[in-house]
Amino acid sequence: MARTDETFKSALIGKKIPILTLDNKWHKLFTQSEFTPELKGLEKTLNDLLKRQAKLNSEMKEIKKLKKKLMDEVVILADEMGERPTKKQDKDMADHKRLIEECNEKMDAYEEELVELPRQINQVNNQLMLITMDVCYKKLQCSTKELEEIDEWISGIRRELKKKVVRKKEKEAVINKLYAYMHDIFGAEVLELFDMEYDPEEKYRKKETEAQEAADSEAEPANEETQTPES
């Protein structure tokens, strides 16, 4: 799946995609090396658009407050001017009208930009999603391939282990049978020295004893940790 896949792009039409850079989980999708310059560039572009949108909304509120204040002052100023306004009153009225007009112009410009910004944000966010999907898909493919290789290796080891276990039992049976025949033929006294080194029963008893001692020694520290001190 490539990020230029038109089928995938068409699947995004009409879908509401969350803003990726605002989701902490999105940042956890990549390692430092996987976070390419392309991803960084789109992340910055998207964040800049979001900051611009927040700034315009904030300034729009302030301009609306200022415009209301100016219009309230115009009403008061108009009442004070009467039929014979002073030069100062005329100047104040002209200044207020100019400021109100500037507020209107800024509000019109901001509103136009605020209408366009969501489209730009959505466009960049979708581009970022396509690249994210591409990176994650390749990562999944690579990890899946490695997993399959590991599974194959484990299966091979298991098969080999089963063969070794069977072979081990066969050898044990041969040794035990051979030892039993020799013991019956030559007797215990003749095999006394041989018994000390090769007696299979003694050998396995020793192994079991050593294994039990090892298990007991591992269990002791755990038991000590679970004991509570006496008050």
- pLDDT tens-digit series, residues 58-98: 999 999 999 999 999 999 888 888 777 788 888 989 999 99
Is the domain of 111 the same as that of 136?
yes
Q: Is 226 inside a domain boundary?
A: no
Nearest to 74 by CA among 50, 48, 100, 54: 100
- State residue 20's pLDDT score: 93
Is the domain of 143 the same as that of 209?
no
Mean pLDDT of 45-66: 95
Is the domain of 53 the same as that of 137?
yes
Q: Which is more confident, 57 or 227?
A: 57
- State residue 6's pLDDT score: 65
Q: Which is more confident, 16 or 152?
A: 152
What is the domain count for the chain?
A: 2
Q: Is 228 inside a domain boundary?
A: no
**Percent of the chain surpassing pLDDT 90:** 44
Is the domain of 61 the same as that of 23?
yes
Q: Of 156, 174, 209, which closes a domain? A: 156
Q: Is 16 inside a domain boundary?
A: yes
Q: Is 116 inside a domain boundary?
A: yes
Q: Is 227 inside a domain boundary?
A: no
Is the domain of 122 the same as that of 20?
yes
| pLDDT greater than 70 at residue 11 | no
- State residue 199's pLDDT score: 56
Q: Is 19 inside a domain boundary?
A: yes
Is the domain of 29 the same as that of 124?
yes
CB 127 within 8 A of CB 38: no
Is the domain of 13 the same as that of 95?
yes
- Which of 32-41, 161-170, 216-225 has the weakest average pLDDT? 216-225
Q: Of 156, 181, 198, which closes a domain? A: 156
- State residue 196's pLDDT score: 47
- State residue 104's pLDDT score: 94
Mean pLDDT of 183-192: 74
- State residue 198's pLDDT score: 56
Nearest to 128 by CA among 52, 51, 29, 21: 21
Is the domain of 86 the same as that of 182?
no
**Percent of the chain surpassing pLDDT 70:** 80
Is the domain of 94 the same as that of 152?
yes
- Which of 44-58, 116-130, 148-162, 203-217 has the weakest average pLDDT? 203-217
Prediction pTM value: 0.62
Q: Of 156, 172, 195, which closes a domain? A: 156
Q: Is 86 inside a domain boundary?
A: yes
- State residue 79's pLDDT score: 85
Could you tell me the two tokens for 166? Answer: 């069977």
Is the domain of 93 the same as that of 175?
no
Is the domain of 151 the same as that of 38?
yes
Mean pLDDT of 187-210: 64
Is the domain of 61 the same as that of 167?
no
- State residue 1's pLDDT score: 43
Mean pLDDT of the chain: 83
Q: Is 147 inside a domain boundary?
A: yes
Nearest to 103 by CA among 76, 78, 129, 71: 71
| pLDDT greater than 70 at residue 191 | no
Q: Which is more confident, 81 or 163?
A: 163
Range of the domain at 135: 6-156
